[in-house]
Amino acid sequence: MVRPRALPVLVLAALALASATNAQSTRVEVVVEHDLYTSGAISAGLAQYLADITAQGWSPVVTPWVLDTGDPNAPAALRTHLAERYTSDGLAGAVLIGHLPVATVYTDAGGSIDGEFHPCDLYYTDLDGSWTSSGAHGYLPDTHTDGTGDVGPEIWLGRLTAWNLTALHPGRTEAGLLNDYFAKNHAYRTLALAVPPTGLAYTDDDWYPGDRPTALALAVEGAVTNVWNDPATPGDETTAANYKWRLANESYEHVLLTCHSSSTAHAMSGSVASSDLEALDPQVLFYNLYACSAATYTDFGYIGGEYLFGAGAGLVAVGSAKTGSMQSHILADYFGPLGLGETFGEAMLAWWNTAVDPGGHTDIERAWSYGMTVLGDPLLVTQAYIPEPASAALLAAGALWLLWRRR
């Protein structure tokens, strides 16, 4: 359900040269699982998405990709493809749609967090670093070094992964969930989907008090509601029931959730499972999940994906596909760029290269950061920076892109 837009639109005198004369800064690789692409089941939705991001000033190229789950070199082949595009075309970033190769690595953080095998999208975005295997964990990469460059990412990446969510939606298909997402994405981009420009910083017991509301406020034009277990305000206790009530009854542009979690359920004096979300119909656009493993896009029923592909307004969820998250003391390096009009992909790239030591990752940085990923469309911007539809049409014609701020 899409609730009516309730915000006035005001124009500020902000102009930006967003039409692209430099293909190196706008090239986007859209990789779509081969069978999903050739079936035609998402043709209309994908075409609308490509038109939307082209109007935004990007230059997308679609590559159908055959998934061979039995090929241990499949992730390396996809990484090589992205690296070649980066070298030849100046690739800015990639959008991965469907069931595509997963780069599984082993991260041993020296005891700060137990070593574990996990999906790692940094493998696809750090194109000049070296990922090798010591042999201690089979063929899987467990060593990340500078290679010909450094260990930081050169490109951003976002995932639209819904193949493992259909069990939560009886009778629905992967293509149907993706098409619904493309429609919702288009509605947001054309101002048909909007919520109040507010935020919710929801911080469970183990992280009290923290400074999360301050960081979140950098990306939110309106008020930030701060909910935590402050002994002085016992009515603000964080519980599963309270969080679910807020998702069902309140609307926010951003939610920053801090709690314990698995890939399929959050834990805070009760459980919030991925199977709960559709009935709640959350009217929240963007999530930052400081919730271990919530973005594990390889797991069936992963909750990070259900925020986007279930009912509700969800468009982007940033989180970790392993134990870890975006640590609180560096959240501002992510929310700050969003508040200046950067896309979610660009904000994540800035976070990696500003907050996570680009000179060489420490044990604690590897432990907390190597599972971080963007679920959803990485080319979205916050509501304040959505161009009016007429200005998007001008952009497609090669004119200036008017940036409209909505208050």
- Determine the pLDDT at residue 354: 84
Distance in angstroms (rounded) separating the CA atoms of residues 205 and 372: 23
SS3 113: coil
Look at 71 and 260; give whichever has higher pLDDT. Answer: 260
Please give the domain boundaries of the chain with CATH numbers for all domains: 27-156 (no CATH), 193-381 (3.40.50.1460)
204: pLDDT strictly greater than 80 = yes
Pick left, alpha or beta for residue 307 (phi over 0 → left; psi -120 to 50 → alpha; otherwise beta): alpha
Look at 45 and 351; give whichever has higher pLDDT. Answer: 45
pLDDT, one tens digit per residue, over 207-240 is 777 778 999 999 999 999 999 877 666 656 899 9
- Structure confidence at residue 8 as a pLDDT band (50, 70, 90): very low
Return the residue matching tokens 């609307």: 251
The average confidence (pLDDT) of the chain is 84
Average the pLDDT over each of 80-84, 105-109, 280-284 and give the range with the smallest value: 105-109
**What percentage of the chain exceeds 90 in pLDDT?**
63
Look at 73 and 141; give whichever has higher pLDDT. Answer: 73
- Determine the pLDDT at residue 140: 66
Distance in angstroms (rounded) separating the CA atoms of residues 399 and 391: 9
Contact indicator for 95, 181 with CB cutoff of 8 Å: no
Average the pLDDT over each of 256-260, 289-293, 309-313, 389-393 and give the range with the smallest value: 389-393
Measure CA of the first residue to CA of the last residue in the chain; give whole Å: 23
Residue 4: is the preceding peptide bond cis (ω within 30°)? no
Strands 401-402 and 156-160: unpaired
pLDDT, one tens digit per residue, over 158-196 is 999 999 999 999 999 999 999 999 999 999 999 999 999
- Determine the pLDDT at residue 6: 30
- Determine the pLDDT at residue 358: 58
**CA–CA distance from 383 to each of 75, 126, 145, 219 (Å)?**
35, 29, 38, 10
